[in-house]
Structure 1
Amino acid sequence: MDNPKQYRSLFILIIFISTNMSHADPKYSVPVPNGPSTTGSVFLPFGKITVEIINDIGNTLTLKYHCKSKDDDFGKRSLQPGKSWSFKFRRQFFGRTLFSCSFALPNGMYSFNIYEDHRESAGDDWCQKCVWKIRQTGPCRFNDVTKQFDLCYSWNKSLYSPRFNQEELHNI
């Protein structure tokens, strides 16, 4: 008969590995130069994922945003026009990694799941380096096949007001 203690140790090891690998590495939370680099041709399921955000809202507008996951909070930040910021992390073992960002735009406040495991790690549109241009119409991700920012999405349905005052803008 199988020894349950053996399986218990294996189960604990798997839980430890999956929990430890899912946290973002704050030392990689730094500005990066503009211009996406390709993800390459090999998807590394346990390699580090990079998410890069580029301010493409237009004119001379500063993008204010706040990104976080269940385990990591990068705080309130801002990006000058055309500038970018990125962070790195390891995917959760069971494929439930999720990072969400809220953005203050001239016409309101919006949110978007900037990294969803089921969207970014499956099919033809997977990415190891997920580069996003944030536009007023919604976020668009760099497509390694077409070499364009043509994987565009709508903003999340949210409770954000379509208009906000200056105090709300400074609080994001």
Structure 2
Amino acid sequence: MVISSTHILFFSLLLLSPLMVVSRFWTIFTYRHVYIRNDLGNGTLLTIHCKDQHKDLGVQKLNYEEEFKFQFKSNLKAFIFYFCALTWDHKLSMLVVFDENRDAHFCKDLKWSVTKYQTCLFNCDTQKYDRCNHYNY
């Protein structure tokens, strides 16, 4: 029996298709991590209060270069949305640290840097903090 290259290609794609589907939806099967780092400058305390629609993560106080980390597992039944209130030097800013519509297929770990002028999300494709939200004071 002779097997043509077309048959080999077809069967290879058939065997690989489940892996492609699983890799597309890897976030469903793993924990997601969110990191928020105080990059405001030496001596500036960052206070963070994060929550989602069901869970309050409490108030965290971060000194310069410290970070707060939390994790969660995606849920097929519910939409996941985490937001945080950020305060420092009598200023308040709100930050959506995870929005399933926006971040479902972005980097597995979401790393935020909080500076005096903006919050920036680390982009695992470019290896830079290049997804930034500027403050409007």
TM-score strictly above 0.5: yes
Runs of 4+ more than 3 Å apart: none
- Does the aligned pair in 2 maintain the 1:95–1:117 contact within 8 Å? no
TM-score, with length taken from structure 2: 0.74
Asked whether the 8 Å contact 1:50–1:87 carries over to 2, the reply is yes
Equivalent position of 1:12 in the other structure: none
Secondary structure, counterpart of 1:58 in structure 2 = coil
Equivalent position of 1:48 in the other structure:
31
Distance 2:38 2:25 in 1: 27
**Structure having the higher Rg:** 2
Matched with 2:125 is 145
Question: Relative to structure 1, is the Cα distance of residues 42 and 53 closer, same or farther in structure 2, using a 3 angstrom cutoff?
Answer: farther
Gapped regions of structure 2 (runs ≥ 5): 1-22
Q: Is the 8 A contact 2:121 2:130 kept in 1?
A: yes
Number of residue pairs matched by the alignment: 114
* Aligned equivalent of 2:46: 63
How well do the aligned residues superpose, as a CA RMSD in angstroms?
Answer: 2.1
In the alignment, does 2:58 pair up with 1:75?
A: yes
- Over the matched positions of the two proteins, sequence identity in percent amounts to 24
Matches within 5 A, 1:16-165: 44-46=26-28, 47-94=30-77, 96-106=79-89, 108-122=91-105, 126-154=106-134
Higher strand proportion: 2
TM superposition score normalised by structure 1:
0.60
Q: 1-side partners of 2:76 and 2:93: how far apart? A: 29
Q: Is the 8 A contact 1:67 1:102 kept in 2?
A: yes
Gaps of at least 5 residues in structure 1 are 1-40, 163-172
Tell me, what secondary structure is at the counterpart of 1:45? helix
**Contact preservation (8 Å) 1:55, 1:84:** yes
- Matches of 2:78 and 2:118 in 1, distance apart? 25
TM-superposed deviation, 1:105: 2.2
